[in-house]
A and B are shown apart, each in its own frame.
Chain A
Amino acid sequence: MSTPLKRTPLYAEHVAAGARMVPFGGWEMPVQYTGIIEEHRATRGAVGLFDVSHMGEFEVEGPGALAALQHLTTNDAAALEVGQIQYSVLCYPNGTIVDDLTVYRMGDTRYMITVNAGNIDKDWAHVTTSTAHIKDARWRNASEGTGLIAVQGPKAEALVGRLAECDVTAIGYYRFARGNVGEVPTVISRTGYTGEDGFELYAPADGTAQLWKALRAAGRADGVTPVGLGARDTLRLEMKYALYGNDIDDTTNALEAGLGWVVKPAKGEFIGREALEKVRAEGVRRRLVGIEMVEKAVARHGYPVRKDGRPVGIVTSGSYGPSVDKYIGIAYVETALAAIGSAVEIEIRGQGKGAQVARTPFYPPKVKKAG
Chain B
Amino acid sequence: MANVPKDLKYTREHEWARQEGERVRVGITAYAQEQLGDVVFVELPKVGAKVTAAKNFGVVESVKAVSDLFAPISGEVVEVNGELGQKPETVNQDPYGKGWMLVVKPSSKAEWDHLLTAQQYEELIAQGGH
Chain A interface residues toward B at CB < 8 A: 31-32, 35-38, 230, 233-234, 296-298, 300, 319-320, 327, 349
In whole angstroms, how far apart are the Cα atoms of A349 and B37 in the complex?
A: 22
Residues of chain A lying within 8 A (CB to CB) of residue B64: 31, 36, 230, 233, 319
Within the complex, which residue of B37, B41, B59, B66 is in contact with A296, where a contact is CB–CB below 8 Å? Answer: B41
Q: Mark B56-84, 1 if CB is under 8 A from A, else 0.
A: 00010111101000000000000000000
Name B's interface SS. Answer: strand
User: A327 touching B37 by the CB < 8 A rule?
Assistant: no
Q: What band does the interface of chain B fall in when counting residues whose beta carbon is under 8 Å from A?
A: 10 to 19
Q: Judge whether B63 and A319 touch: CB under 8 Å.
A: yes
In the complex, A349 Cα to B60 Cα: how many Å?
13
User: Cβ of B59: which chain A residues have Cβ within 8 Å of it?
Assistant: 349
Chain A min CB distance to B41 (Å): 5
Check A320 against B63 for contact (C-beta < 8 Å): yes
Interface residue SS majority, chain A: mixed
| B40 interface residue (CB < 8 Å to A) | yes
> Is B41 a contact partner of A230 (Cβ separation < 8 A)?
no
Partner of B41, one of A31, A233, A298: A298
A37-B63, A319-B63, A319-B64 known; A297 and B37 CB under 8 Å? no
Q: Which residues of B contact A230 (CB under 8 A)?
A: 37, 63-64
Residues of B in contact with A (beta carbons under 8 Å apart):
37-38, 40-41, 43, 59, 61-64, 66, 85
A-B contact pairs, 28 of them (CB 8 A): A31-B64, A32-B37, A35-B37, A35-B38, A36-B37, A36-B38, A36-B62, A36-B63, A36-B64, A37-B38, A37-B40, A37-B63, A38-B38, A230-B63, A233-B64, A296-B85, A297-B41, A297-B43, A298-B40, A298-B41, A298-B66, A300-B66, A319-B63, A319-B64, A320-B40, A320-B63, A327-B41, A349-B59
Closest to A20 in B: B37
Other than A38-B38, A233-B64, give 12 A-B pairs with Cβ distance below 8 A. Answer: A31-B64, A36-B37, A37-B40, A230-B37, A230-B64, A234-B63, A296-B41, A297-B41, A298-B66, A320-B63, A327-B40, A349-B59
